[in-house]
Every structure is written in C-alpha cells, then in structure tokens.
C-alpha cells in the first residue's frame, strides 16, 4: 500500500469513514487513528503496530460534551482538570459506557479519554460522527513519532494516509490520570505533558503517584518501551564514558556540550528549558539511533515539571531494562 502524506482533512476523514487507519497530529505525539466504534478498524491498529492485544487504546474526542457519552460518571475531583486542561496533554480514566467497544479497552471496564489540543485534529474529530482510537504512531516498542516523517519512517506502506500537522509542540505523551476507590484523590498512572505540579495547582490537592512497570494498570507502561535500536545508557555521561571510551559513542546532553571529542554530541536545549528538552527528545533519539554509533548516552533531568515524564521515557528506553 502506498502511503500518502498530506494536509487534507477531507481525505483523512474519507479513509477513517471507510475503516482505514490514518496518522494524526496532536500536541504530544502523532497518533495512529481508527474509527473508535468499529472493532474491525481498531483491530488493524494492533496488527500494524504489532501491539500486544492486552494493551488498551486511548479514545480521542473532539468536545468535552462527549466525555459523558463514553463514560458512566465523572468524579467531581476531575472536573477542574477537564475544565482547564481538556483539550490538552492529559488523558482521564473513567468507567466506560456501553458505547465503547471492548477491543478499545482490551476488556477493562475503564476507558481512557483525551481531547488533543491540535487544531487540525480537532477539526477532523469534529467533522466525524465517531471518536478516534489512537495509540502513538510507532511500531510497538520503538520511540514515539513527533513528525509526519517519523510516522512514514515507521509505518510507511502499511497505512494509506498521514495527516501532516507539523512537528508536535510538546513532544511527550499525555499524562494519564484516574482516581482512587473513594473518588477522593487523583492518581497519576503515566507521567506526561501535564506536570504533577500543574495538576496539583489545578485541583488544589496532592495527587497519588502510582506508576507501575511490572504489573501496570496502564499496560503500555511495560519497561522495554520507547527503545532505540542502538543501546541507550542514561545517567552521568562522563562516568559512563569512562567505561566505554574505546567505543563509538554519542552524547545526548540536556543543556550543554561536554568538552570531550566523541563521535557526535547533541544538546537538547541550549536555553536550559525542560519544555524544549521534551520537545526535542524523541526526534534526537531517532536521529542518534540512525548514525551507526555503538552506544547512546543521555543525561537525566531534575525530577521537576516535565522532568518526570522525560526521565520516565529515558528509563524505559534504556538498554539494560530490556
Ligand atoms: O499523548 C498521548 O497520549 C498519545 C497521543 C497520540 O494521544 N497517545 C498515546 O497512546 O500515548 P499509547 O497507546 O501509545 O499510550 C496509551 C497508554 C498505554 O500505556 C495504555 O496502556 C494506556 O494508555 N491505556 C489506554 N487505555 C487504558 C485503559 N482503559 N486502562 C488503563 N490504561 C489504558
Ligand atoms: Mg505509545
């Protein structure tokens, strides 16, 4: 199948209505979308991505009003988040309504709902009479895509259309949140584009951080995710380099180049901005993965703001965790 890259919302819509898959831009990463109410179309996502069938999909909506259609109830605690951050880089886990096919949630009674903050995709969603199921548009296990080109590199010839909406502005996936059994506390299941600090400022309360890698509540949290083909080692770059100095290595620095002559060095943000680090991370990991190095070394960020999401992705991309 020839894959076309274009900017035509009407073409994307026709493919989706015909039960085909289309890559769509969002503010976080590109998604691989299908009609979220059509189990056959959704099954193609699992095939094309080679995604384990137990890993559920986020349902993307165009409007807040639709949240109540696809869920049973909305706990009060989540209302300020919905008011302030949807559309935005947050996904909420709610008890699913009868309208959500079981294949979307991989059999779970909870559905993950998100309204992406990207004008092209919001127009597309609002022109359709169904929501879109969309995981990140990468082959399962590889680094997530932040441009139409990344989608083409990973899924070219497997899907008919990539809707090009430019490079994503955020660069890490949405934060996944739910709530505890008493409906009293917000629980964080995946770190992402909406930081813990921003969530706590919004709800005026502390959250519970519940990130499980071994028996994850969100199965996409499995450890060997986001991995490059070239082994990636994270930590203090200069320390790691002592062990591997005879190898062909690439340094991925957060803010500053090191004074050492290695095969190649990247700096993720010259302005020391974690937003920029998040925005550049997947692009640079992909680029560094393709230059024939023996190893990639990357630094961790401080665990504040987007630092938690950045470090989470790095830990799971690490070679030794595979
Ligand atoms: O920013 C994002 O969230 C991107 C864009 C495309 O929207 N999507 C994304 O999807 O990251 P994906 O499939 O790569 O990651 C979704 C995560 C997985 O870890 C999955 O296990 C979890 O969400 N998830 C989805 N539905 C769930 C459910 N019903 N219960 C628990 N976890 C769920
Ligand atoms: Mg993913």
Mean pLDDT value of segment 110-119: 98
- Quote the ligand 1 centre to 58 CA distance (angstroms): 5
Nearest to 252 by CA among 307, 294, 300, 291: 300
The preferred substitution site among 28, 112, 179, 216 for testing ligand 1, maximizing ligand atoms within 8 Å of CB, is: 112
Ligand 1 atom at minimum distance from 60 CA: 7
pLDDT band of 321, cuts 50, 70, 90:
very low
Centroid of chain to Cα 254: 20
Looking up tokens 């008919």, which residue turns up? Answer: 160
Nearest to 256 by CA among 282, 277, 285, 240: 277
Residue-wise pLDDT for 218-267, tens only, equals: 666 555 678 999 999 999 999 999 999 999 999 999 999 999 999 999 99
Looking up tokens 């909506």, which residue turns up? Answer: 61
* Degrees to nearest 5, angle at CA 112 with 188 and 305: 35
The preferred substitution site among 91, 179, 191, 317 for testing ligand 1, maximizing ligand atoms within 8 Å of CB, is: 91
User: What is the rounded distance in angstroms from the CA atom of residue 314 to the CA atom of residue 300?
Assistant: 8
In the chain, where does DSSP find H-type helix? 9-17, 39-49, 67-70, 79-85, 102-105, 119-127, 148-155, 196-203, 237-244, 274-289, 307-317
Residue-wise pLDDT for 275-315, tens only, equals: 999 999 999 999 999 999 999 999 999 999 999 999 999 99
- Quote the ligand 1 centre to 178 CA distance (angstroms): 13
User: Count of CB atoms within 10 A of residue 320's CB?
Assistant: 8
Nearest to 31 by CA among 78, 89, 81: 89
- Quote the ligand 1 centre to 318 CA distance (angstroms): 20
Site residues for ligand 1, CB cut-off 6 Å: 26, 28-29, 31, 55-58, 91, 93, 105, 108, 110-112, 114, 116, 134-136, 173-174, 176, 190, 217-221
Contact 157, 5 (CB under 8 A): no
Q: What residues pair up with 136 in beta bridges, in sequence order?
A: 31
By three-state DSSP, how is residue 202 classified? helix
User: What is the rounded distance in angstroms from the CA atom of residue 104 to the CA atom of residue 116?
Assistant: 18
Ligand nearest to the CA of 194: 1
Residue-wise pLDDT for 150-181, tens only, equals: 999 999 999 999 999 999 999 999 999 999 99
């Amino acid at each position: 199948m020839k894959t076309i890259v274009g900017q035509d919302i009407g073409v994307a819509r026709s493919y989706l209505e015909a039960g085909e898959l289309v890559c769509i831009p969002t503010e976080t990463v590109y998604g691989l979308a299908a009609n979220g109410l059509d189990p056959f179309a959704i099954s193609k996502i699992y095939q094309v991505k080679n995604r384990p069938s137990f890993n559920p999909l986020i349902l993307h909506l165009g409007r807040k009003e639709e949240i109540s259609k696809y869920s049973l109830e909305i706990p009060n605690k989540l209302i300020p988040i919905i008011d302030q951050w949807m559309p935005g880089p947050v996904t909420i886990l709610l008890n699913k309504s009868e309208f959500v096919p079981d294949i979307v949630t991989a059999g779970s009674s909870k559905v993950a709902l998100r309204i992406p903050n990207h004008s092209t995709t919001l127009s597309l969603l609002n022109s359709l009479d169904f929501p879109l199921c969309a995981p990140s548009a990468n082959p399962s296990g590889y680094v997530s895509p932040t441009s139409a080109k990344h989608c083409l590199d990973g899924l070219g010839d497997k899907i008919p259309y990539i809707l090009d909406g430019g490079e994503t502005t955020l660069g890490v996936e949405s934060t996944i949140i739910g709530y505890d059994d008493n409906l009293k506390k917000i629980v964080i299941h995946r770190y992402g584009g909406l930081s813990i600090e921003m969530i706590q400022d919004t709800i005026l309360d502390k959250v519970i951080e519940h990130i499980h890698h071994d028996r994850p509540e969100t199965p996409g949290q499995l450890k060997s995710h986001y991995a490059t083909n070239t082994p990636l080692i994270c930590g203090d770059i200069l320390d790691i380099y002592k062990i591997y100095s005879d190898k062909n290595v690439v340094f991925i620095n957060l803010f500053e180049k090191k004074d050492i002559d290695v095969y190649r060095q990247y700096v993720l943000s010259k302005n020391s901005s974690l937003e920029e680090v998040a925005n550049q991370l997947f692009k640079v990991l992909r680029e560094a993965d393709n230059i024939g190095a023996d190893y990639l070394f990357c630094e961790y960020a401080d665990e504040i703001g987007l630092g938690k999401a950045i470090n989470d992705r790095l830990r799971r991309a690490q070679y030794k965790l595979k």
